[in-house]
């Protein structure tokens, strides 16, 4: 990949600076160009990149260079710290209702991974003692209900469906009632993929929300999403008020800059990541790991840690 060697490039950009005094504006500016390009190549949103660079610049200029670090390492250290801060510094979990069932609704664009993730999440939380019910709220996509049933079957989780002739709002409501009756303390509602600009289908989600008052509305987002991730997240958040994000398909080799953008713009935490197609491949999200992934700078960080 083009920017694999970001750390090297930064070192190069700052190599000329031999004295261990303060970082000058010019030195930082040059280094920041490399960081900017790396972030853009990683699909971090353009506006987010600009803000981020300004922030790092402010911090870096005039910063005392630590004895043990080269100026390049110093800048990377600041970049990494700011990046991690932006991603959210702590791990963020699902909040369960004190009055079960806890209702989780999964929303997002077509093909993002909602149905698969619904199953994964159910399986994951079942392990911690929950009794999840999966609710088949996608009446549009061919075989969407069957897909959820197969997934539920593989995980030994019950799946609630009313077929595809009933409105998703009604299905959601009936699903929650079913859970109450059958002692399921967790309801995970799968919804059809939709475009954020599809007003009609966005309204459908609003109606589901109003009807069942989910405790968590999670946006399922494909980690490979490019510059548009921000629009998508912003509008889903605006229209629905999301509580967090699940980032899927991180088992690929994408840098996953969308994560950073979405977090920066909506200020909502990323709660889980999808690491494969198998139903146990869901993991809690760690902000610091994502930061290094975006810049591709694992090596330099361990270097800095040792220093």
8 Å CB contact between 261 and 229: yes
Asked if residue 259 lies in contact with residue 223, where contact means CB atoms within 8 angstroms, the answer is: yes
CB count, 10 Å around CB of 140?
A: 14
Reference 59, options 32, 39, 40; nearest CA is: 32
Stretch that binds another protein, among 81-89, 92-100, 249-257, 284-292 (CB under 8 A): 249-257
The answer to whether residue 163 forms part of the interface with another protein (CB under 8 A) is no
Pick one of another protein, Mg ion, ligand GTP, none as the site partner of residue 15 (Cβ within 5 to 8 A by kind).
none
Min. distance of Cβ 199 from ligand GTP in angstroms? 14
Q: Are 160 and 175 in contact (CB under 8 A)?
A: yes
Q: How many residues bind ligand GTP (CB under 6 A)?
A: 23
HSE value, Cβ hemisphere, 13 Å, CA-based, for 278: 4
User: Least distance from C-beta 215 to another protein, angstroms?
Assistant: 27
Please give the Cα distance from 83 to 292 (Å, whole number).
9
Buried b / exposed e across 47-75, counting CB within 10 Å, b at 16+?
Answer: ebbeebbeebbebbbebebeeebbbbbbb
Q: Nearest distance from residue 151's CB to ligand GTP, in Å? A: 8
Least distance CB 146 / ligand GTP (angstroms): 11
List the interface residues with Mg ion, window 63-122 (CB under 5 A). 114-115
Q: Measured at CB, which residue is nearest to ligand GTP?
A: 193
Using CB under 8 A as the binding rule, whether residue 232 contacts another protein is answered as yes
Upper half-sphere CA count for residue 185 (Cβ side, 13 Å): 12
Which of 36, 141, 178, 289 binds ligand GTP (CB under 6 A)? It is 141
Q: Counting contacts by CB under 6 A, is residue 107 touching ligand GTP? A: no
Q: Does 249 bind another protein (CB under 8 A)?
A: yes
Residues lying near ligand GTP in the complex (CB under 6 A): 108, 110-117, 138, 141, 144, 192-193, 195, 220, 248-249, 251, 274-277
Residues lying near Mg ion in the complex (CB under 5 A): 114-115
């Amino acid at each position: 990949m083009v920017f694999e060697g970001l750390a090297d490039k930064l070192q190069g950009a700052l190599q000329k600076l031999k004295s261990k005094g303060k970082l000058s504006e010019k030195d930082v500016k040059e280094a920041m160009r490399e960081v900017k390009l790396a972030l853009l190549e990683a699909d971090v949103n353009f506006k987010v990149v600009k803000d981020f660079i300004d922030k790092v610049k402010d911090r870096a200029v005039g910063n005392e260079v630590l004895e043990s670090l080269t100026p390049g390492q110093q800048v990377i250290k600041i970049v990494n710290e700011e990046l991690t801060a932006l991603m959210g510094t702590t791990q963020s979990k699902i909040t369960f209702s004190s009055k079960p069932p806890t209702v989780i609704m999964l929303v997002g664009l077509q093909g993002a991974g909602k149905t698969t993730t619904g199953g994964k999440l159910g399986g994951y939380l079942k392990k911690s003692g929950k009794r999840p019910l999966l609710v088949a709220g996608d009446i549009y996509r061919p075989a969407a209900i069957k897909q959820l049933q197969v997934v539920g079957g593989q995980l030994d989780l019950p799946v609630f469906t009313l077929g595809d002739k009933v409105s998703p709002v009604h299905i959601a409501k009936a699903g929650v009632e079913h859970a109450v009756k059958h002692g399921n303390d967790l309801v995970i509602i799968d919804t059809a993929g939709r475009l954020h600009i599809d007003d009609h289908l966005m309204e459908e989600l609003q109606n589901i929300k109003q009807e069942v008052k989910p405790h968590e509305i999670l946006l399922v987002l494909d980690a490979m999403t490019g510059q548009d991730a921000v629009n998508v997240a912003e509008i889903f958040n605006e229209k629905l008020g999301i509580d967090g994000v699940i980032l899927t398909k991180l088992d690929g080799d994408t840098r996953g800059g969308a994560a950073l953008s979405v977090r920066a713009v909506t200020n909502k935490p990323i709660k889980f990541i999808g690491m494969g197609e198998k139903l146990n491949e869901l993991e809690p999200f760690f902000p610091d790991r994502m930061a290094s992934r975006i810049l591709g700078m694992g090596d330099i960080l361990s270097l800095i840690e040792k220093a």
